[in-house]
Amino acid sequence: MNPATPQASRKIGLPPEQFAAAFPFHFALDGDLKFIQAGDTLKRICADVQTGVALEKIFHAMRPRGEVSRQWIENNRAHFFLLEHRKTNLLLRGEFMQLPEQNLWLFLGSPWFTDSSEISALGLRFEDFAIHDPVADMLQVFQANKIALEDAKKLADKLTAQRAELRLANERLRQQEAETNKLALIAARTDNAVVLTDSSGKVVWVNAGFTRLTGYTMEEVIGKTPGSLLQGPETDHATVQYMHNQLSKGEGFKAEIVNYTKAGRKYWLASEVQPIRDEAGQIVNFMAIQSDITARKNSENLLLETSALQRAMLEGAGYAIIACDKQGIIQLFNPAAERMLGYTAAEMVGKLTPAAFHVPEEIAARAKELTAELGREVPVGFATFTAKAELGQPDQREWTYVRKDGSRFPVLLSVTTLFAERGHLIGSLGVASDLTERKRDEEKLRNTVSELERFNRVMLNREARVLELKRQINQLLAAAGRPPDFSSVTETNPSTKLE
Amino acid sequence: MYGMVNKAVEDMVIRHHGEAVWEQIKAKAGVTVDVFMSNESYSDDITYNLIGAASEILKTPAEQILIGFGEHWVLHTATEGYGNLMHAAGRTLPEFMRNLPSFHSRVTMIFPKLQPPHFECTEITSQSLKLHYYSHRQGLAPFVVGLMQGLGLKFKTPVTVCRIAAKDAGADHDIFAVNWSPASAS
């Protein structure tokens, strides 16, 4: 309190007990700044505050700065004083009042705390403070501020974490957006038709490819199901039902189906449909990528027809048709071959080479013959059959086949090599006809000709003898002076003479 | 309501049931506040809604939740926030009870916007007192019972709390008869 401006109009003295209760941390000093009295609480906390002990020995001057002395006190009476108890570091905040009548200095003050933990550390209780003393209030303010700061820190930490998450999310979003833009561009520019429907299958977006394929514009199809526009008389109902079931189950699928363009042109469509789900796993869209596979379907049909023709030819042919891979292993053994040789296709295909039904000596002899003919060593074995054909030369000759039962028969075998598209050898094809009948006919013919020749010879001999007899009769008649009976047979007509 | 109250509800739920349950309760209560600031004033509806949602999700009567909350307040919230000051306020239950009204008076002084309850202790004996609870808020009497029970646990002094006057039954304010064992409280 400033002594120059007294406020009270009456002198009020307090009885010592009331004074002690009102100022539990007070102390009084004599003119030499030695303790002559102190509050009970102060004495309990600072046990070295005892009568007769000098202030400077017990307390250190924190504020105002300076050495503890009467001069220091007098010079700073307009300010508050902050004293530090040397032993406990307790800070006392207060003011010095000079009581000249009693020649003493009175210090009125309270402990100064900055944290509520200090009050516990010193063993103080609220009861140790005067009721008017705001120290407890101040401590509660400090504590409330401390808690507020902790809350603010927690909030700041949370915000920092959220910002970090946001940054990450933004980055992910940016990447997703880039990806989406890329995909959108692909979806828009691709030749495939792309259709996006809602979860009920109604179109929400189509790309230009869809319009090119079907003839329908986006405006014409939005809100409609693709099937209601594109399916027609040759659309397979079972496939439509399958697609419908998959959509109902929320599962993706692939299907090939006949559709019709807006102009009514039929086309084959391959469609891959996938559900698109949100973060909660709920289906929000279906996406279909579709392509026109009409050309492929046509090729497949042609292939099927060709295959059927080939199969019919192979199965119906009267020739044995035997195809081998380049190692000579039989790959095809047609029914005629089965009938001819007595083996089933199952016994031959993938298991044996034609050596199984050839005469080894014939193969060896042919290899020798080819070696001489081609001017290079032709090995005995499967290569013997293909050596000429590999050169692109026709190789047709007679061979002897050996049936499963060991019986033999002649065949005319024509060997052709099989080349893949890039010109490399993939195997050979042998076509063999049974020569047994032909051989038999040839033999019969040969026999007939021989018999006829013999008969001819007999006939010619007989005529020669008749002519000789006629000539002899003519000679006898001439000897008898008679003209010859057989004028056509004369000595001068040698042309009639037979050999 | 004082943000510290909501923060305490959050702490209690997370401590006993985990973060996921707290998020459920917050969602059910329609509360979007991320962090409650202890000394800020929030609408009372937030606290009531949180207690209601907790009651529904935890399948526990609201009264039971409030009693548990009162105990949690003393044993965790107040002790962790104001432990040193609580210690300075009393070493025993009766000592502390005498200082209880001042705590709330100071809250009023420090945060004029807050409207904390007001307590008075009368008929103080060595083993009992009458606790007068004045609040403009409804339905929080079980919370006061929990507070007393929590203090009994904190000071290791078995207490019984009995509401002898109820504001919601027409009384001016709630009055609780608090009894404790003199031997353990001394």
* Residue B37 forms contact with A (CB below 8 Å): yes
pLDDT at position B29 is 95
pLDDT at position A365 is 93
**Homologous superfamily (CATH) for A16-133:** Haem NO binding associated domain (3.30.450.260)
**DSSP secondary structure of A215-229:** S--HHHHTTS-HHHH
* Residue B162 forms contact with A (CB below 8 Å): no
Computed over every residue of chain A, the mean pLDDT equals 88
Closest CA to A342 of A397, A404, A299, A386: A404
Rounded to an integer, what distance in angstroms lies between the CA atom of residue A465 and that of residue A490?
A: 15
* Residue B171 forms contact with A (CB below 8 Å): no
Neighbours of A193 (CB within 10 A): 25
Strands A91-99 and A253-260: unpaired
Query: Which contiguous run of DSSP H or E holds residue A315?
Result: helix A294-316
pLDDT at position A29 is 96
pLDDT at position B15 is 94
A190-298 placed in CATH 3.40.250.10: no
pLDDT at position A491 is 57
pLDDT at position A498 is 42
For B60-76, write each residue's pLDDT tens digit. 999 999 999 999 999 99
pLDDT at position A419 is 77
Is a pLDDT exceeding 70 seen at residue A44? yes
Closest CA to A235 of A225, A223, A243: A243
pLDDT confidence bin for A371, thresholds 50/70/90: very high
Q: State which residues of chain B have pLDDT below 70.
A: 182-186
Is a pLDDT exceeding 80 seen at residue A187? no
pLDDT at position A496 is 46
| Residue contact B90–A120, C-beta within 8 A | no
* Residue A120 forms contact with B (CB below 8 Å): yes
For A304-316, write each residue's pLDDT tens digit. 888 888 888 887 7
Q: A134 CA to chain B: closest CA distance, Å?
A: 10
Please answer whether residues A434 and A411 qualify as being in contact, where contact means their C-beta atoms are separated by less than 8 angstroms.
Answer: yes
* Residue B92 forms contact with A (CB below 8 Å): no
Is a pLDDT exceeding 80 seen at residue A497? no
pLDDT at position A399 is 92
pLDDT confidence bin for A303, thresholds 50/70/90: confident
B7 to chain A: closest CA residue:
A151
pLDDT at position B152 is 93
Is a pLDDT exceeding 60 seen at residue A6? no
Nearest-by-Cβ selection for B38 from A141, A147, A158: A147
Q: What is the mean pLDDT of residues A289-299?
A: 89
* Residue B23 forms contact with A (CB below 8 Å): no
pLDDT confidence bin for A77, thresholds 50/70/90: confident
B100 to chain A: closest CA residue:
A126
CATH code matching the domain that covers A317-434, chosen among 3.40.50.970, 3.40.50.300, 3.40.50.2300, 3.30.450.20 = 3.30.450.20
Q: Which residue has the higher pLDDT, B100 or A28?
A: A28
Please answer whether residues B41 and B3 qualify as being in contact, where contact means their C-beta atoms are separated by less than 8 angstroms.
Answer: yes
Neighbours of A270 (CB within 10 A): 16
* Lowest-confidence segment of A86-100, A174-188, B169-183 by average pLDDT: A174-188
Q: How crowded is the C-beta side of B118, counted as CA atoms within 13 Å?
A: 7
Interface test with A, best of B34, B39, B105, B106 (most A CBs within 10 A): B106
| Residue contact A119–B84, C-beta within 8 A | yes
Q: What is the mean pLDDT of residues A462-484?
A: 87
